[in-house]
A and B are shown apart, each in its own frame.
Chain A
Amino acid sequence: MSTTANTSLFKKLLRNKGAVFALVVISLSLVIAITAYWWAPDASPNANRIIVEIGGKKPGFSVDFLLVPIPNKTIEKSAFFGTTDAYQYVPIHSYQLLRDSIVVNKYVDDDTGIVQKYALQQKGGTLSKASIVHKTFYLGTDKFGRDILSRLLIGTRVSLSVGLMTVLVSLSLGLFLGAIAGYFGGRTDAIVMWFINVIWSIPTLLLVFALTLLLGKGFWQVLLAIGLTLWVNIARLVRTQMQSARELEYVNAAKVLGYSSMRTIWKHIIPNIMGPVWVVVAANFATAIVIEAGLSFLGIGVQPPQPSWGLMIKENYNYIITNNPFLALIPGFAIMLLVLSFNLLGNGLRDSLDKKG
């Protein structure tokens, strides 16, 4: 796309309400994904501060904590990957500060507590009045007592990077194979199409199962597996676009001017057919997020304690029919919002690229 075409495309996109909404949500989640640990109330790596006493609390739950230093703990501080906790968080109903010790009514349930005594001089440091902090869990806690809000924020990172990485993998593979199949035709086309049809005929989820079994469980394996399944529709699109572009006179002109096939493909055809490809890329982004959530839900995707939205649903979906449906609904809603945004962006792109529009 040329610069002039790009600016007018962007202007058209801004006239589309759905696309503007999508762009706002996507940029917001991108900012959140990068700066997640700055905002997260629980900034420990993977927001994995387990406090079993306060498991499964409703949104807005708040309680006091006594921070007991953990002895001989190496603390890793990182604004990007989180900071390891230096304290043990002890939830309390009330406390009493004595001369050499602190007596707390440790939180067990809303009405019950256990009286416990901590010496002020601990191995890792001293306890004082400053060791008592008040914390509010705006979106509640999961069954391990972890903060849902923090996990949700950090989970954005998983969803977006899954989308981004799979798009990179599928785009490069799809562009390359689709381009050579469409441009050269004949035998090359037959081989690539055979390969595409084989991949196409296997249900996506099954293929991801197979690849995860082969490559093992984990974040990077999931990325690669989803990327390797999504290149197919990009390749098919690029191939058909290539076939019609191949007949255009400026492609013939490139041939007559003595340009090599690769130069013709990458410099002259690809830039002109990327419009519809971006639409599919946006749709792929959404699909990748959904597949990742599904895989994580099934337990073969992102592995705990890494907070993935799909994993959060899996951990909390029992609560949907019991007392605390929000625990699973909130990550579900987050998935929906992000997927919707990418689909709206795709629709907006398609409408803007439509010359009649």
Chain B
Amino acid sequence: MLSRSPLLEVKNYSLSFANSPQKPAVNCIDFTIQTNELVALVGESGSGKSVTALSLLGLLPKKSIGKQSGSLLYTKKDGSQIDLLNCDEAMLESIRGTEIAMVFQEPMSSLNPLITVGEQISEAIRKHKKLKSKAAFSETVSLLELLKIPNPSETYYKYPHQLSGGQKQRIVIAIAMCCKPRLLICDEPTTALDVTVQASILETLKELQRNTGIGILFITHDLGVVSEIADQTIVLYRGELIEKGPTKQLLQNPQQEYTKALIQCRPQADYKGRLLPTVESILSNDSVHNKVFQSTASIQPFIEIKNLNVRFVTKRNWLGKPKAYYQALKDINLTIYKGETLGIVGESGSGKTTLGKALLQLIPADSGDVLLNGTAIGQFSNLELRKKLQLVFQDPFSSLNPSMTIEQALTEPMKVHGMGGNHQERKSKVIELLEKVQLSKEILQRYPHEFSGGQRQRIVIARALTLNPACMVCDESVAALDVSVQAQVLNLLQELKESFQFTILFITHDLNVVHYISDRILVMNKGSIVETGTAHDVFYHPQMPYTQQLLSAIPRF
């Protein structure tokens, strides 16, 4: 490169939204991206990382922007520098795609389901480069090769739904790369993917950046991912730039308290059995996180699953008789002991969620028995069963009825189950439980939309606790939360388990979390159990190749 000026230089950039002009979404941030450099923008939700990326391409709706200041200087292919903040729409349009391209989180929604993926790439090539279709075809195929897609000339003719999530994300990156942009912005491109897929995509991205010499701005909330690929790392917190520097230096020797907290509150191996530090506790220099939890696991079987099979019908004949099945669970044999925390881990499609749902009788089992305290689960009435087994969901935003106040939502289960003599009694029980999950009784009259994700997850946990269940199934219950909030919820679950003595079935894809919280771990793949063992054994001495492969794919530093 001839020019010495950096590819992108963000100077004193601030932005506030029209609906809250007092609270800037991004406040005076400075950073640069050089060519052939991968810069990671790290932060929790609400830190302003996506806002920054979207404003680079002028993709924020004009109406919603209140005030912007500073400058976003970008050096074009011809060496001239422009300020993206003062560009008109025509200028921005000529930059999008050819100079700066973007990859979003969800690959399915960025692809047109009705057009073959090859056609979608070559369309972009034809449009921008004015190539004939034959030349565009060969260019598409070479682009697919560059992104390591198997059988490029066959994949060209496939539709998005025929590809896996990882392959779809590769296609999206290929579309972004087809006009040879010099800056690629990736907004959480691997968050929706499994760890093994994530690892391979990260590798491809890094290679792509090395081979083509482009600059990449990589937005993520996952410090593990950052450590794998980023040259430079920038930490954002509530719109403020907290710390920036070379990745290795920043992660190993963080200067700012917030960065330290962010690194420490991830459930790391050496925190097992102890309270996780949270961002609040570190920032306030609290030392409560030395508390040690006692395992409440016993040897008394609580739930026994014998030869459980679950099939889904995939094809029916014209009379509605099933013709083909998808075997979601194959001959599952499992004993869950009273008071233990059993972690079930696996990639998407492994059947871990199906197992939880089959246990809760939300989907019918094809064959096999489930015994609860030695009694077949079918012997219990619906109400009896629900009082024993409760579920904490993945998405705290949709698991509460938006039109009910917290008081209504939390007293209703007790009312249906005939617990508590009158509303007043139930209400006082609810207040008691809210205190247990560290929420005050002032929230009773509020609606779910007024709460953050972590608060909602606590409300959902409190709701499950109203029935005093013997077992809680947590289906990816912390997957949608920020790391600091995740630490709070994990701590809370363990505290509650200590005082209420219930059994936890913890379903997750996150190996660090599962190791941290579980007494025993169950690894699932393609509907079968691959490996079971104590958390320590599975994590440190995996026996099966699949488990080893999973563990080696976790980004660590």
| Interface-centre pick from B395, B398, B463 (highest chain A CB count, 10 A) | B398
The 0/1 profile, CB within 8 Å of A marked 1, for residues 430-473 of chain B is: 00000000000000000100000000000010010001000000
Binding site for A on B (CB under 8 A): 360, 362, 382-383, 385-387, 389-391, 393-395, 398-405, 412-413, 416-417, 447, 460, 463, 467
Determine the residue in chain B with the shortest Cβ distance to A256. Answer: B391
**Contact string, A57-101, partner B, CB cutoff 8 A, digits 1/0?**
000000000000000000000000000000000000000000000
Tell me which residues across on chain B come within 8 A of A255, comparing CB atoms: 362
Known A4-B447, A263-B416; judge A249-B467 contact (CB<8 A).
no
Q: What would be 26 A-B contacts, judged by CB atoms less than 8 Å apart?
A: A2-B402, A2-B404, A2-B447, A4-B447, A248-B398, A249-B393, A249-B395, A249-B399, A252-B362, A252-B393, A252-B399, A253-B393, A253-B399, A254-B401, A256-B362, A256-B386, A256-B389, A256-B391, A257-B412, A257-B463, A258-B387, A258-B417, A267-B412, A268-B401, A272-B401, A272-B403
Name the interface residues of A238-297: CB closer than 8 Å to any CB of B.
Answer: 248-250, 252-260, 263, 267-268, 271-272
Question: Within 8 Å CB of B360, what residues of A?
Answer: 256
**Docked complex Cα distance between A250 and B362 (Å):** 14
Which residues of chain B are near A4, meaning CB under 8 Å?
A: 447
Interface residue? A28 (CB, 8 A): no
Contact of A257 among B394, B403, B416, B447 (CB under 8 A): B416
Minimum C-beta distance from B461 to chain A (A):
12
Residues in A whose Cβ lies below 8 Å from that of B394: 249
Please provide the 6 A-B residue pairs with the shortest distance between their CB atoms, ordered closest to farther: A258-B386, A249-B399, A249-B398, A2-B403, A256-B391, A257-B413
Interface of chain A residues 4 through 29 with chain B (CB within 8 A):
4-5
A1 proximal to B (CB < 8 A)? yes
How far does the alpha carbon of A77 sit from the alpha carbon of B412 in the complex, in Å?
52
Given contacts A2-B403, A2-B447, A263-B416, contact A256 B390 (CB under 8 A): yes
- Cα–Cα distance between A241 and B292 once the two chains are bound (Å): 48
Of B389, B400, B405, which is within 8 A of A250 by CB? B400
> Closest Cβ of chain A: how far from B109's Cβ, in Å?
17
- Chain B contacts for A258, CB-based, 8 A: 382-383, 385-387, 413, 416-417, 467
CA distance A285 to B390 in the complex (A): 45
How many A-B residue contacts, CB cutoff 8 Å?
A: 68
A4 CA to B406 CA, complexed, in Å: 14
Query: How far does the alpha carbon of A166 sit from the alpha carbon of B341 in the complex, in Å?
Result: 57
How long is the Cα–Cα vector from A249 to B392 in the complex, in angstroms?
10
CB distance from A205 to the nearest CB of B (A): 36
With a CB–CB cut-off of 8 A, which chain A residues contact B402?
2, 5, 250, 272
User: What residues of B have a CB within 8 angstroms of the CB of A253 in the complex?
Assistant: 391, 393, 399-400, 460, 463
Residue ID in chain B nearest A2 by CB atoms = B403
CA distance A253 to B393 in the complex (A): 8
Chain A residues positioned under 8 Å from B390 (CB to CB): 256-257
Query: Inside 8 A of A249's CB, which chain B residues have their CB?
Result: 393-395, 398-399
Q: Is the CB of B403 within 8 A of A5?
A: yes
Can you name the residue of chain B whose Cβ is closest to the Cβ of A272? B403
CA of A90 to CA of B319, assembled, Å: 77
- Say whether A250 contacts B416, CB under 8 Å: no
Given contacts A4-B447, A252-B362, contact A257 B399 (CB under 8 A): no
Provide the bound-state CA to CA distance between A250 and B385, in Å: 19
A247 to chain B, nearest CB (A): 9
Whether B447 pairs with A250 at a CB distance below 8 angstroms is no
With A2-B447, A4-B447, A255-B362 as known contacts, state yes or no: A250 contacts B399, CB within 8 Å.
Answer: yes
The distance in angstroms between the C-alpha atoms of A253 and B466, with both chains bound, is: 13
Complex CA–CA separation, A260 to B386 (angstroms)? 12
- Give complex CA distance A254, B395 in Å: 15
Interface pair B393/A257, CB less than 8 Å apart? no
B413 surroundings in chain A (CB, below 8 A)? 257-259
- Distance A2 CA – B405 CA, assembled complex (angstroms): 8
User: By the criterion CB–CB under 8 Å, are A271 and B403 in contact?
Assistant: yes
CA distance in complex: A267, B404 (Å): 9
Given contacts A5-B402, A252-B391, A252-B399, 15 further A-B contacts (CB under 8 A): A2-B402, A253-B393, A256-B362, A256-B391, A257-B390, A258-B382, A258-B383, A258-B413, A258-B417, A258-B467, A259-B412, A260-B416, A267-B412, A271-B403, A272-B401
